[in-house]
Structure 1
């Protein structure tokens, strides 16, 4: 059974000026849904262990980020000269945009007919497979792409239309690096296309997920909102040559226990779950007095907001309250983490407490402590 927490409206636009001749930030508000499939293999501890080992392969690092989405960010895009509306799920772990074609029976969020629209075929196939056995196949096209009322925002934008799919939910709008595109011939996905068109200064975006109880978040292409974080927004290089969006955590601490080993984490906004080093995980289990039940770790729902798990990135910290470490499911509260092996993830449980700016042009990620604010001060960055 699929539980939706909550059922939400489709994304709306934040107020912003019409597209100008000079680069400027492009902010969009999206709706957030959190859902949990009780039959999912992700409820099984052994699956987490196998998953962590599979993630040692770069091939699986990008595929992970959409195959277990229990957190979705819904927004509308518009394709073709007719500005046809399609609902998609924003994904920071994938790079391609794919939508359903007219003949896919299981489609959700709308379909797009490239032949009827007169889209330009690229004679290049699209195929993506996820670790849970789902996936989609089709072909690449080019056509007009718009966000909300900005008709004709991008010309000759490349995207995939799928004619075969085994997938729950709408299509995917990927905004990760070009290195994880499914094609051998890399192209300008949305962040890079906005930069090339002169709409944004960089191929970049910031992500604000709001509070756990909130139903809205914001992505700002080419900019940040200074009112949505506190302290300094510190820039770090993406470690090594990895295609995935990742950061090194220098140390982590909870309830007086410190894990001092530098650890690389993938940033995955598409899942509540985290994969942590065994030692840090056990420190957290102890601090929250969690009890294991069929591979999951049950905790009391009434957790404090003034006690924290702290992640130190070298020049600043992000603190996650005990309350925000929880995932609510089926009348219980779970610790939103599992022990990993060699590859580790910071998911929605962490990212709700952080403000993150991804600069794909310069391969850097900037982080700061999240601040819950109803006001905005948006600037280019």
Structure 2
């Protein structure tokens, strides 16, 4: 199942246009590897603007309420949403999933809904203790209804300037990356009761550097979530500080200030400049991120905030889309994922990465089989 994604550059979201209900209603939903629920805004949601549109369950002959008021979800940026769990027919990439369980938000601080593609354990019903409402995810339903062979998908975001990307459920496109896919084990999480489980699509980040020069020790390792629902990269303070120092940036992230990291836009004229992220250690892969993917013109995002005095020597002021976080959860968002073609295999708990082939206009889709115990070894 292949679906084109719209790069909504104003919000940083990659949106799939889907159809829900009988007769079908078109809605745009964000692809999110950091959550699991599929959910939509209701047409009655109290919002000034709905980026992707809302769903009118009263106009669908196939819509059924499963649990009224049981859908509750919150997200890392402080956003939240709540409403009902419903079932209805869901069309994506020309394939119809019959009776998919979804959240229908009556209240939300977000302008569009999500297609959550993570592990079932992250469903809102489980997180909020409603274990009786555990249900098959969209990936589970695709497999059980015979639409794909295994619980895996691949994601191609293309570069920042591109208007579209793509997602393939049950396969990959060998024309969308360079070289070989490198397999990385997904890292399990230790739960409060001492047991372990796969809860997030997270891997080991083992190096960070600039211009192919790593400034992390050889033994370095941090667990990072590959989260397509996040625009920025939220990383440990010392790593971001290393990048800021390398580009002579200005840290203005204190709460009382602008909240941004500023750099001189002249870094964009250096075509060889990259920020480099290594995954999986010596036998893993290093993804080189060009400046054009992680540096943006400040006026695009600054609004009415004031530039710090330290930027007065800059020819033109830009922003760095890497950010500090004091959380123990580190996120690799779209700013980094655009440069990495990613295959997520929830069946075998693996993620494969390869450098993105930007602006690819050709396609060669490889379908996964039912019996595969790992992501196919495919060379572009």
> TM-score, structure 1 length as denominator?
0.78
Which residue number in structure 2 is paired with residue 286 of structure 1?
245
2 CA distance for matches of 1:234 and 1:253?
20
Q: What is the CA deviation profile of residues 71-121 of structure 1, one whole-angstrom value per residue up to 9, with x for unaligned ones?
A: 111222112221222222222212111122242242623333334424222
2 CA distance for matches of 1:289 and 1:130?
32
Q: CA deviation at 1:148?
A: 5.3
Matches within 5 A, 1:151-300: 153-163=96-106, 165-183=107-125, 184=131, 185-240=133-188, 241-255=197-211, 256-260=213-217, 261-293=220-252, 294=257, 295-300=259-264
Computed over aligned residues only, the root mean square deviation of the Cα atoms, in angstroms, reads 2.1
Which of these residues, 335, 338, 355, is aligned with residue 323 of structure 2? 338
Which residue number in structure 1 is paired with residue 309 of structure 2?
none
Paired residue secondary structure (2:26): strand
Distance 1:138 1:340, change over 3 A: closer
Distance 1:340 1:132, change over 3 A: closer
Which residue number in structure 1 is paired with residue 73 of structure 2?
128
Paired residue secondary structure (2:271): coil
Distance 1:181 1:302, change over 3 A: same
Which residue number in structure 2 is paired with residue 143 of structure 1?
88
Paired residue secondary structure (1:191): helix
1 CA distance for matches of 2:319 and 2:60?
47
Distance 1:79 1:229, change over 3 A: same
Which residue number in structure 1 is paired with residue 347 of structure 2?
361
Matches within 5 A, 1:93-104: 93-104=34-45
Gaps of 5+ in 2: 126-130, 189-196, 301-316, 369-380
Matched residue count: 319
Q: What is the CA deviation profile of residues 275-315 of structure 1, one whole-angstrom value per residue up to 9, with x for unaligned ones?
A: 22233222211221112333422112232231322222222
2 CA distance for matches of 1:363 and 1:182?
21
Paired residue secondary structure (2:266): coil
- Tell whether the 8 Å contact from 2:82 to 2:108 is kept in structure 1 after alignment: no
> TM-score, structure 2 length as denominator?
0.78
2 CA distance for matches of 1:168 and 1:141?
19
Paired residue secondary structure (2:161): coil
Which residue number in structure 2 is paired with residue 375 of structure 1?
362
- Tell whether the 8 Å contact from 2:274 to 2:291 is kept in structure 1 after alignment: yes
Which residue number in structure 2 is paired with residue 349 of structure 1?
335
Gaps of 5+ in 1: 1-25, 36-69
- Tell whether the 8 Å contact from 1:235 to 1:366 is kept in structure 2 after alignment: yes
Q: CA deviation at 1:222?
A: 0.9
Q: What is the CA deviation profile of residues 163-216 of structure 1, one whole-angstrom value per residue up to 9, with x for unaligned ones?
A: 2x1323122221222111111233222122111111111111111111121111
1 CA distance for matches of 2:297 and 2:123?
33
1 CA distance for matches of 2:356 and 2:330?
22
Which residue number in structure 2 is paired with residue 306 of structure 1?
272
